[in-house]
Amino acid sequence: MTYREWFESHAKKHSAIVKKLGYLSDEELIRYFRFENMVKMEPDFCPLYATSTKCHDMKELNCYLCACPNFRFNDEGLKEVENKTLFSTCAIDAKEGKQFISDDAIHQDCSGCTIPHKEAYIREHFSRNWREIMKHSDQSSSNSA
């Protein structure tokens, strides 16, 4: 699955949940997206929910910003770096992030970063429109996010 395919699929799932819960206040909606609740209430939102596995090692994981507004990607590549294609990066160069480097590609590895999964961060950047929060993530020329 490409970044774009995942992004589009996730945007649809996120939008459906937000629409279904339109009656909740913003704060209630944010709380709804807590990992423990999502595993029970929205088991198809994330494949990791099937085994109750968190994508990030943190006590209070919130899944509202699954993906990150600071993650930049392009399935064709953002640029060439030392004969490798850079496909994704962190716009804020978060100290917890790192890169996965193979023979010909560089991908952002966000597994150590918890920034977008903290409720204070979600409140600061909150919109019921996930695409609006993520509008800068997809750096491809066909940017429709």
DSSP, residue by residue, 49-89: GGGT--SS--SS-B-TTSS-TTEEE-TT-SEEETTEEE-EE
pLDDT digits (tens, 9 = 90+) for 109-118: 999 999 999 9
Residue 144 has pLDDT above 70, yes or no: no
Residue 90: per-residue pLDDT: 94
State the Cα–Cα distance between residues 111 and 62, nearest whole angstrom: 14
pLDDT digits (tens, 9 = 90+) for 22-53: 999 999 999 999 999 999 999 999 999 999 99
92 touches 71 (CB < 8 A): no
pLDDT digits (tens, 9 = 90+) for 45-104: 999 999 999 999 999 999 999 989 999 999 999 999 999 999 999 999 999 999 999 999
How far is CA 41 from its chain centroid?
Answer: 19
Residue 140: per-residue pLDDT: 65
Query: Could you give the percent of the chain with pLDDT greater than 90?
Result: 85
Residue 72: per-residue pLDDT: 92
Model confidence band, residue 143 (pLDDT cutoffs 50, 70, 90): very low
Structural domain spans, the chain: 3-133
Residue 145 has pLDDT above 90, yes or no: no
